[in-house]
Structure 1
């Protein structure tokens, strides 16, 4: 069986990490070897799982089949630069190395490094499921557009000066296939699910509309939307909660109208903090068994 990839995206603070972790726990409990990776510097899997994780694949305590990693952008950049520079150290003098190093110090190198780490996992075949808790939407879109742009950029540079902002073309030419493979996996509905998490409010709805359209332009289909943080109906007695409940229902209804061809799932607010395996198993039960899905 091929590895299945699930991407969670959405604006910062909408509950992406919680939904990604609940999904990871669900599949691990089903006996699937599962890895959850975050590329979001604000997400903290260590807090969720109540153990140290960091920039390495770590087995999660107290549950079989579950592993996690928090990608550190600085470390990923250093690793990427070293991988580019290593073959040059024997071939070039100090001055040439310095020029190459300067070329590898722009912001595009950081993005390249993050994406490079990200798609290393997409070539991984030792897991049944790999779940990506991606960075807030704008950043994610840039990362997903990179392989398309880089492929073009690599081709053009190889015909022109032979230089790119990631260093000499010859060094990254071999990466072209890796980027192209990653894009074809992202576009393959049998291999990849792309899930947006949003809150039932205007800014979150607008961001989700924009991001889904941007993904569509680069050939990536959104497979599900989770509307998170709904106030339960039975709690809408107090005037304050009633008014919030009515507003949320308005935006939920708008979301169903706008995304009428994408399944929408709802997740109510919990009355306690989301931490630890048992709490996330509860979320997973609602996510996979108890919540309504609107086709």
Structure 2
């Protein structure tokens, strides 16, 4: 089991419950554990009956367990302000207002959320030396896939930006001040330096996701969830990321044999349907089923969370990061 563990899946399948339960299992095994919510619909605070923010906080009543929730709106705002600050340091004051306007527009476009969250996401991984295990409760599948695909995409993109920036400096400076001075300007260029820093960050993320991370998908025993999971496994493999296991959540419990009312008959029919779907998962997916969690009557928190943790057949021993 690697240091970084991701739980993803379709919206509403119970990722927060499963990721929180596994975090509790790791903490009880003596692992210093941090559970991180990157889902805009934060439920980690509800699970532990405690408010969290974007800094790790100890979870009350649980030794070795910390939690944090990343707020997408705050991350986008912080990301935008950092870009404005950098650009203001590097351009003429005459065009600062126009740059600010363009940045404001850019952060209203698709991809702004992923870019901002990705930066914070990398910070959490880089600053996790205090923890043996970091567990990410991710946003619904589409957002997660876009997040995980960024290292490979942005690495190539920054290569092209650096090349274009270097060519423009070379041509402009040679014409203005001569070849020797142009080389010095190129070496000192703050924009190239920043792009190279960004590239190093993306390389770290890509290597960490491939070498030091495990991925689990949470699903429910219904056709939509099963199809979504099948697509997600294929897409993750396209990014050279494997899925280590599936957690089947909200499985209907069977009624007692002596029950014969309308509710019991409904439950038996539903249980039979779900058993057929579970069989499909076992036979058609080449990813192991590492947990089958029955639906609880009450919200899963407190002692019930510990019960769910016991139903997860996922090793808690941490491997040394590669």
Residue 237 (structure 2) pairs with residue 216 (structure 1): yes
Q: How far apart are the structure 1 equivalents of 2:69 and 2:94?
A: 36
Partner of 2:311, secondary structure, is helix
Q: How far apart are the structure 1 equivalents of 2:252 and 2:90?
A: 63
Q: How far apart are the structure 1 equivalents of 2:280 and 2:42?
A: 29
Residue 185 (structure 2) pairs with residue 181 (structure 1): no
Residue 111 (structure 2) pairs with residue 108 (structure 1): yes
Alignment equivalent of 1:172, drawn from 195, 203, 207: 195
Partner of 2:111, secondary structure, is helix
Contiguous gaps of at least 5 residues in structure 2? 167-190, 315-322
Q: TM-score, normalised by structure 1?
A: 0.88
Partner of 2:300, secondary structure, is coil
Partner of 2:278, secondary structure, is helix
What residue in structure 2 maps to residue 265 of structure 1?
Answer: 291
Q: Tell which deviates more after alignment, 241-250 or 133-142.
A: 241-250
Q: CA deviation at 1:172?
A: 3.4
- Whether the aligned pair in 1 keeps the contact of 2:217 and 2:247 (CA below 8 Å) is yes
What residue in structure 2 maps to residue 244 of structure 1?
Answer: 270
Q: How far apart are the structure 2 equivalents of 1:98 and 1:87?
A: 14
Contiguous gaps of at least 5 residues in structure 1? 163-167, 290-295
- Whether the aligned pair in 2 keeps the contact of 1:44 and 1:70 (CA below 8 Å) is no
Q: CA RMSD in A?
A: 2.1
Across the two proteins, how many residue pairs are aligned to each other?
A: 280
What residue in structure 1 maps to residue 225 of structure 2?
Answer: 204
* Greater C-alpha radius of gyration: 2
Q: How far apart are the structure 2 equivalents of 1:110 and 1:138?
A: 12
What residue in structure 1 maps to residue 318 of structure 2?
Answer: none
Q: How far apart are the structure 1 equivalents of 2:255 and 2:199?
A: 54
Residue 301 (structure 2) pairs with residue 279 (structure 1): no
Q: TM-score, normalised by structure 2?
A: 0.81
Residue 121 (structure 2) pairs with residue 122 (structure 1): no
What residue in structure 1 maps to residue 46 of structure 2?
Answer: 47
Alignment equivalent of 2:282, drawn from 256, 262, 284: 256
Q: CA deviation at 1:15?
A: 0.8
Q: How far apart are the structure 1 equivalents of 2:30 and 2:288?
A: 28
Q: CA deviation at 1:143?
A: 0.6
More RCO (CA 8 Å, sep 6+) = 2
Partner of 2:73, secondary structure, is helix
| 1:15–1:235 distance in 2 versus 1, CA, 3 Å | farther
What residue in structure 2 maps to residue 195 of structure 1?
Answer: 216
What residue in structure 2 maps to residue 36 of structure 1?
Answer: 35
What residue in structure 2 maps to residue 22 of structure 1?
Answer: 21
Q: Tell which deviates more after alignment, 151-160 or 136-145.
A: 151-160
| 1:66–1:93 distance in 2 versus 1, CA, 3 Å | same
